[in-house]
Structure 1
């Protein structure tokens, strides 16, 4: 099972009040990403998180799409898939996806699963080590969703053999 769909989300921080600011999906070799404009109720912002992903609030205001549009486009992009997306941070990513779809007031047509469950706990250390090597290689801009899904996919392929 090498051809899997992968999701990654960047957020305003790692806090229970954080919200999604960028989402990317890699599906059948095609990567799509969206910047998400802040919803009125989304207030939490972490300067440390901003320094990691490099996405400013001003950039989100200028270039981001409303949650409703992102949720619609994400559902459309995934409409012909098996509706399972794999994440290397499933608990966080699923919470942020729930936040996005709750704000959009529409139903999501996919589920988020842990990539670690797919590969098994025996391969998890190898996956983590390979992902770290890729992050340090300079080939990817770590902590940007589109780059991270590609990096996660490459590390997964390495482990899946």
Structure 2
């Protein structure tokens, strides 16, 4: 089975003025990668509660983050051929991705879709419990973009297998 490509974004906060600080992918083969993003000068919003979740400081982004153009180019290189990636927080992630590409002066060569579109009703019912079990079982570090993208992909794979086993397909 080919796994869907999952994308996750960590951000400076959730309100107005927030921006992407890390983008991670879980590729179709299950491998992951993630990039920290160097904030632009005009990106000043910073929510300390968000930092408590992801554990990434603004100072670290300044030191280790990649320029916006570089991250946008990387996303296009990774995703143009596949043409699509999925997110469990499409409303937020699509907004932050659009902001990234706007400031990079580029257009995405792929589209971001809601993960929900791939799930059947049984997968939705199983989702939360399966995700929590996988966090414990796989010792996943939450709220880091690459790990969260992989967690979503593993949860998708697990719930799909359970759903198929129950329906006999």
Counterpart CA distance in 2 for 1:141 and 1:64 is: 20
RMSD of Structure 2 on Structure 1 (CA): 1.5
Structure of larger gyration radius: 2
Query: After superposition, where does 1:94-113 map in structure 2 within 5 Å?
Result: 94-113=94-113
- 2:86 pairs with 1:86: yes
**Deviation for aligned residue 1:122:** 4.2
- Unaligned 5+ segments in structure 2 are 162-169
Local SS of the residue matching 1:33: strand
Cα offsets for 1:99-143 (capped at 9, x unmatched) = 110111101111111111211344223112211232344610000
* Superposition TM-score, scaled by structure 1 size: 0.93
Kept in 1: contact 2:3–2:153 (CA 8 A):
no
Contact 2:32 2:147 in 1 (8 A): no
Question: For the residues of structure 1 that align with 2:43 and 2:125, how far apart are their CA atoms?
Answer: 35
Unpaired runs of at least 5, structure 1? none
**Contact 2:84-2:113 within 8 A present in 1 as well:** yes
**How many residue pairs align between the two structures?**
160
Q: Structure 1 residues 119 and 2 mapped into 2: Cα distance closer, same or farther (>3 Å)?
A: farther
